[in-house]
Structure 1
Amino acid sequence: MDDDDDVPALSAETFAALQEFYAEQAKREEILTKLESDNKLTENIIFEENWQLSQFWYDEKTIQALVHVIDQCVQNDGRVALISCPTLFVPVKRQIGSRATVTLLEYDRRFEIHGSDYVFYDYNHPLKLPADLTQSCDLVVADPPFLSEECITKTSETIKLLAKNKIVVCTGAVMKDHVEKMLQTKACKFEPKHRNNLANEFSCYANFNLDSMLQGL
């Protein structure tokens, strides 16, 4: 009897998934190596949306508005946490990174290129975060990846763990009651928009007067 007969064989689907995983891993390492060798800023790397992760990038006007709000809210030596909204990271870092700490909490490991500013985040484990982040953030901006009560409930746990004061949540209008109840926020007049229009109505919620900060912008 051939000893090879005792070795379990991978299914075609599993083998293909492994190949994809290793290819993505190799690509990430290639990007990191190039950045290190060229000494380039990570803001030069632009990622496409991954719809399987429910990623939908904000349009430029929305990014500018949210960066403006963050700039107004976070004082020198302060900290902002961005939960599941990676397109904000580079513009916010560019705007306030010289005077405040900007931390991205994100499931997509492509954003590991941001080094120590990146924290892997899985909303299924809302409290599994570095201890030094607890109650450390002057502002938390979150965009939960899924329009479900479970997702907003668990993301809210993370927000409460991080936030010292101000909170902004961008999510579907259908989540209004849950967001307002769990985080004591109110719907804003400001409406976030995306580069690729979404079928779902999208809203912004805050526990402070966000709209007043955008007057005249």
Structure 2
Amino acid sequence: MSDSDDDIPQLSAATLAALQEFYTEERDGLVQSTIPVDKYSVGAVEEDWRMSQFWYSDETATRLVEEVIQEAGKGGRIACLSAPSVYQKLKQGVVEGSDGVSAVVLEYDRRFATYGQEFIFYDYNEPLALPEDVAPQSFDIVLADPPYLSEECLNKVAQTVKYLAKGKVLLCTGEPRIAVSGLGLVPFSILHTTLNSYTYQNDMLLSAAFYLISFVLSTTPSGAIMEGHAEKLMGLKICSFLPKHNKNLANEFRCFTNYTSNLMS
């Protein structure tokens, strides 16, 4: 050791140990502070947009839980199909009557397997590939939020809903939109109606372009078209209630039911 090393202050072994303990406690405290205390907290499992996951706002989740509890009745069974944030809000036990019902969550994302036997793996591409212990027509109400805004997805989800539900169905789905220069995001249904009202006889190229856009829009489910599909597939009627998400989506979401609901007013 050189003379210069003698001038550098040295910490004792006890002091170093105390510092190490302090930093360890600080680190552990920081980690713990980022983990929800309640495993049922909305956000305990982070949404993943790559799996088309968008959690409802607390207000919307609470309102939907109130609805399914009321419609299921005391001792009722509730199926949350691709709607984990509703299931989580229900399991928090903060909504009146939540202790008087049971619920399961059907999800493709296996992270929700943390909920044990109440988790049912679900792939909408195989709508009837359910565990043997999931009996047909065994749920008093099914709340479904199809993961994708397409007719094909809704058709397959409808098969699952019909298998699960005794009768009552609550569907939440959205209206796709398209970006239009100068207008922002515009509902497909409005664009489709507008395009159908114009002709471009003096500009064949422009006419062809708008014809192509019109064709795409006509084959893409808009809110009005999805409403028609929902009614045709499951006898559902649109409600006035507008569900909201934690991250404001451009798509406008609506609820549909096959019973007289408080969400209609």
Of 140, 143, 161, the residue aligned with 1:141 is 143
Of 40, 47, 50, the residue aligned with 2:48 is 50
Structure 2, unmatched stretches of 5+, are 1-36, 176-221
TM-score (norm: length of structure 1): 0.75
Aligned mates of 2:152, 2:260 — CA distance in 1: 27
Paired residue for 1:126? 127
The one-letter amino acid paired with 1:207 is N
Instruction: Tell me, yes or no, if structure 1 residue 165 matches structure 2 residue 216.
Output: no
Aligned mates of 1:184, 1:131 — CA distance in 2: 27
Structure 1, unmatched stretches of 5+, are 1-39
* 8 A contact 2:241–2:263 mirrored in 1: no
Q: Which moved further from structure 2: 191-200 or 159-168? A: 191-200
Q: Which moved further from structure 2: 93-102 or 67-76? A: 93-102
Instruction: Tell me, yes or no, if structure 1 residue 183 matches structure 2 residue 237.
Output: no
Aligned mates of 1:213, 1:148 — CA distance in 2: 24
The one-letter amino acid paired with 1:191 is L
Instruction: Tell me, yes or no, if structure 1 residue 194 matches structure 2 residue 245.
Output: yes
Q: 1:147 to 1:62 in 2, by over 3 A?
A: same
* 8 A contact 1:135–1:161 mirrored in 2: yes
The one-letter amino acid paired with 1:137 is F
Percent of aligned pairs sharing the same letter:
44
Paired residue for 1:65? 63
Q: Which moved further from structure 2: 118-127 or 73-82? A: 73-82
The one-letter amino acid paired with 1:112 is A
Aligned mates of 1:76, 1:199 — CA distance in 2: 37
Paired residue for 2:116? 115
Q: 1:81 to 1:88 in 2, by over 3 A?
A: same
Equivalent residue pairs, number: 175
TM-score (norm: length of structure 2): 0.62
Paired residue for 1:29? none
* 1:79-94 alignment runs, 5 A limit: 79-93=77-91, 94=93
* 8 A contact 1:142–1:170 mirrored in 2: yes
* 8 A contact 1:70–1:92 mirrored in 2: no
* 8 A contact 1:65–1:214 mirrored in 2: no
Aligned mates of 1:214, 1:176 — CA distance in 2: 14
* 8 A contact 1:140–1:159 mirrored in 2: yes
